Amino acid sequence: MNPTDQVMETAQKIRSMEIRGAGRIAIAAAASMRDFALALDAGSIEQFNSEIGRAAGILLDTRPTAVSLSNAIRMVTKYDSTDVEAARRSVISNAESFIDSSQRAVERIGRIGSRRIRDGYTILTHCNSMAALSVISTAHRSGKGIRVIATESRPRYQGITTIGMLEELGIQTELIVDSAVRSVMNDVDIVVVGADVITAGGSLVNKIGTAQIALCAHEARTSFMVAAETYKFSPRTILGEMVTIEERGAEEVLPDISRYKNVRVRNPAFDVTPHSYIDLICTEVGAIPPEMSYLIIKERLGWELDEES
Ligand code: RUB
């Protein structure tokens, strides 16, 4: 396949959500950049750089909220060679090390986060997060008797993917509609969700509905834990940038929207949970209070701070 077609195909899968979830999007983008670099026929370093920039742009243009995508692409395209073959080797090895470290991060988050889960706990989760599921599955594998309540996560029903994964792991699960969260919250010991973005101030951007769940948990005095690799933290928020919330098509919510003349459907894909509703963010470098997010960005992702592009 032509290298650009391969990138376009990956971009289309991300846009249509065939590939979804912040971690998997980042891994798919890194793999796509690796394969692009591998197949790219460039006569000069200038041409190589510009083609790499173009491919990155195609992938970045898919899902506007996911900082995992821009962090992954930034890590993969970090090279300063003036030789095409050396630059190509750098992109390939950067991509491979990103994919590998991302997979190890999820395992480590599972080990760290599962220490917060006690035997007999009921855990509520929302959407479908590999990092959150790593915490849950690690707790289960370590012999703790747990039960999970999973929300449907309308309109795309990622909760159905979650219950399928929990079923395979043999974990007792209950499925609820999103609006039943308050009704069950008094039975929940801890909420565990993933992250699309964590800001410098420790706020969480995650699947629409997360903020309502956090509010409910706060009111019921139920712990609220976020499971997130450090590349979900957004360097640009230190520079004052706001996170763009993706608005998806009306047909995801109301397939026969054309029957209604005076109705506008709003379909924001993510919402913002204030840091004050979050007890803990569990990353691969440790479990931190949300107030420490600034330090994670500065120490792990600091490149943006002096580049201000
Ligand atoms: C997915 C979502 C997930 C985060 C974290 O949204 O909000 O909670 O991306 O997932 P969508 P992970 O389905 O719209 O992509 O921990 O797997 O990165």
Each residue of 251-297: pLDDT tens digit?
999 999 999 999 999 999 999 999 999 999 999 999 999 999 999 99
Closest CA to 149 of 184, 194, 110: 184
Q: Is 308 inside any structural domain?
A: no
Ligand 1 center–CA 25 separation, angstroms: 9
Residues 134 and 25 in one domain: no
pLDDT of residue 300: 87
Residue 1: per-residue pLDDT? 83
pLDDT for 179: 98
Question: Cα(23)–Cα(40) distance, rounded to whole angstroms?
Answer: 26
Same domain, 93 and 133: no
Please determine, for residue 308, whether its predicted confidence score (pLDDT) is greater than 70.
no
230 within a domain of the structure (yes/no): yes
Residue of 99, 108, 127 with the most ligand 1 atoms within 8 Å of its CB, for mutation? 127
Same domain for 208 and 266? Answer: yes
Of 74, 107, 140, the last residue of a domain is 107
In a domain, 154, yes or no: yes
Index of the ligand 1 atom closest to the CA of residue 127: 8
Known active-site residue 41:
no
**Which domain range does residue 135 map to?**
115-301
Atom of ligand 1 nearest to the CA of 133: 16
| Shared domain check, 224 and 173 | yes
Domain shared by 240 and 151, yes or no: yes
Q: How many domains does the chain have?
A: 2
The count of C-alpha atoms lying within 13 angstroms of the C-alpha of 177, restricted to the half-sphere facing its C-beta, is 2
Is residue 152 domain-resident?
yes
Query: Residue 306's pLDDT is what?
Result: 59
Which residue, of 107, 132, 152, is where some domain finishes?
107
Atom of ligand 1 at shortest range from CA of 232: 18
pLDDT tens figures, 22-79: 999 999 999 999 999 999 999 999 999 999 999 999 999 999 999 999 999 999 999 9
pTM of this structure: 0.96
- Biggest alpha carbon–alpha carbon distance for the chain: 64
Q: Are residues 7 and 61 in the same domain?
A: yes
- In terms of Cβ atoms closer than 10 Å to its own Cβ (0-12, 13-18, 19+), residue 78 is exposed
The answer to whether the bond into 155 is cis (omega within 30° of 0) is: yes
The residue among 80, 107, 134 that closes a domain is 107
The verdict on whether 127 is a catalytic residue reads yes
